[in-house]
Each structure stands twice: as C-alpha cells, then as structure tokens.
Amino acid sequence: MEKSHNHDRESVTHLTAHRPFPDLAAALRSQSETITERWMVAVRPVVPSDTDLPSHELRENQSAVLARIADVMDSPNRHGVDELIGNVSPQGLSHFRQRYDVRELMTENRLLRRVIIEEAERVLDRPMTQAEHAALDMSIDAMLQETVYELRRQDVLV
C-alpha cells in the first residue's frame, strides 16, 4: 500500500512543482493571522468538537498549516513540494487524534480554503489566476490527503 500512496503523492504534487507562486505565498504569509482568526470564527459554530479545543491550540495548528501552504507556493522544485506535503505536522495530528471525525476534517478544510482565497484575493487586489487556484487547491488537498492517510494508518480516524 505504501508504494501506491507514494505514487498518488507524486501525481498530485507534480502539477504544483513546475513553478512557484511567490505573490500568493507572500499574501498567505502576510495574512496568516487574519486567515486563522476568520477561519476560527467560521469553524467554531459548524464543527462542534472544535469548541472543546483551546483557541491557542487551534491558532498554533492553523499557523503551521498556513506556513506549510505558503512554503509550497514558494517552492520552485518538485522535491521541495513533496517534502513539505509529505511531512504531516505533529501538532496537527495531535489535534485530530484527540477527537476527529472525517466529516469535520473535510468541513474545516472547505472553510479554510474559502477564507484563504478571500484573503489572498483581497491582498493581491485581484482575482487569483487559474494556475494559482489550481496550485492552492492541490496543496491543500495533498496535505489533507496526507493527514487522512496518517490518521487512518494510526487507526484514529472515525
């Protein structure tokens, strides 16, 4: 199964690896705090188990996720993207191990994607290009895939 999993990662990341998106990376970095705060406001009412976690834990986890996405957007080569996506954050896994259900994980990611796009377009002062959207979507999806894979491997996903 591991071999198949690595092949899936390759097929996902090759599309983001052909060029970096430094403007998008800079927008994400500059708005990390705003994105995190807006995401927390959006997620708390719709993901009940998030209300049990302290705000500082959610903030730390989300900041790490946003930093990794920005690094992926900045990475000029495939190896860098594979490495960033392939390393699921330990704090993110501990967050999910505590009480996660796959539906909640997907909901959190949909809300995160929406907030990232809105804030990035506001800072860029333009709509994101199709290539930027594709790279962002694929980066978020690949990190989500890695998280789900790791949680499933550890048999903690419900």
Taking alpha carbons only, the member of 52, 92, 48, 53 closest to residue 69 is 92
Q: Residue 40 corresponds to which tokens in the numbers above?
A: 């927390």
Report CA-CA distances (Å) from 75 to 39, 62, 83, 94. Answer: 25, 20, 10, 27
Q: Residue 10: which residues within 8 A CB-CB, separation 6 or more?
A: 82
Q: Residue 64: which residues within 8 A CB-CB, separation 6 or more?
A: 89, 91, 92
Pairwise pLDDT comparison (152 vs 37), residue with the higher score: 37
Q: For all residues of the chain together, what is the average pLDDT?
A: 77
**What's residue 121's pLDDT?**
97
Burial of 146 (C-beta count, 10 Å sphere; 0-12/13-18/19+): buried
- Res. 157 pLDDT band, cuts 50 70 90: low
Q: Using the predicted structure, report yes or no on whether residue 123 has a pLDDT greater than 90.
A: yes
Q: Using the predicted structure, report yes or no on whether residue 140 has a pLDDT greater than 80.
A: yes
Domain boundaries in the chain? 2-153
User: pLDDT tens digits, residue range 53-85?
Assistant: 667 777 778 888 899 889 888 887 766 556 665
User: pLDDT tens digits, residue range 87-105?
Assistant: 655 545 555 555 567 788 8
pTM of the model: 0.77
Contact 156, 36 (CB under 8 A): no
First vs last C-alpha separation in the chain: 20
Task: Name the CATH superfamily for 2-153.
Answer: Globins (1.10.490.10)
Pairwise pLDDT comparison (120 vs 75), residue with the higher score: 120
